[in-house]
């Protein structure tokens, strides 16, 4: 479902710089099929439909995965960092012209690198830039996640648009 209206809300991305919220949590729920506890994008602060998105994930100690990873030293699992990056990429893919009524599914992850641990209290800033579209149903994104301006993870992610 295309989303075109920008929210009038002003939020803070890193507690220092005010940013305009482009997509609220409700807007994201209209675009992505994910729901709690597997929705890892709280809001989108920059958005160019079908081209680029920058999303935010506030990591809290209340995340269900911290109960087992690891209770004495909570660290966000790398697979869930990839999932969070994929969800921001999915927002970009879901806005491609041929995506109406389709769900972007993750089909491949390349060049994944984890550079730092993500812990409760961190705020992930996740960027997804479209590299190319193939056969009008595959999208390839370059994704990065940062905390306080430091790169914590990156990957190339491929999506397929399915009915």
What domains are defined for the chain? 10-162 (3.10.129.10)
Cα separation, 156 vs 147, in Å, equals: 19
At 95, list the tokens. 């806005």
pLDDT of the residue at 14: 43
Cα separation, 136 vs 47, in Å, equals: 21
At 57, list the tokens. 């994930």
pLDDT of the residue at 8: 39
pLDDT of the residue at 19: 56
- Within 10 A of 148 (CB to CB), how many other CB atoms are there? 11
| Catalytic machinery residues | 69
Cα angle value 124/81/57 (rounded, 5°): 30
pLDDT of the residue at 59: 98
pLDDT of the residue at 5: 41
pTM of the model: 0.87
pLDDT tens for each residue of the chain, 163 residues long: 444 444 433 344 444 454 567 999 999 999 999 999 999 999 999 999 889 999 999 999 999 999 999 999 999 999 999 999 999 999 999 888 788 888 889 999 999 999 999 999 999 999 999 998 887 778 899 999 999 999 999 999 999 988 8
């Amino acid at each position: 479902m295309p989303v075109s209206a920008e929210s009038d809300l002003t939020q803070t991305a890193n507690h220092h710089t005010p940013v305009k919220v482009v997509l609220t949590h409700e807007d994201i729920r209209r675009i992505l099929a994910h729901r709690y506890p597997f929705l890892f994008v709280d809001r989108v602060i920059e958005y160019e439909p079908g081209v680029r998105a920058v999303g935010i994930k506030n990591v809290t100690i209340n995340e269900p995965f911290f109960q087992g990873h690891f209770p004495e030293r909570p660290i966000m699992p790398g697979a869930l960092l990839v999932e969070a990056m994929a969800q921001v990429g999915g927002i970009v893919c879901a806005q491609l012209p041929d995506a109406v009524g389709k769900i972007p599914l993750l089909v491949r992850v390349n060049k994944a690198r984890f550079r730092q641990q993500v812990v409760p209290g961190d705020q992930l800033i996740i960027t997804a830039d479209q590299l190319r579209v193939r056969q009008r149903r595959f999208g390839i994104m370059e994704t990065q996640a940062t905390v306080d301006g430091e790169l914590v993870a990156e990957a190339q992610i491929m999506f397929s648009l399915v009915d």
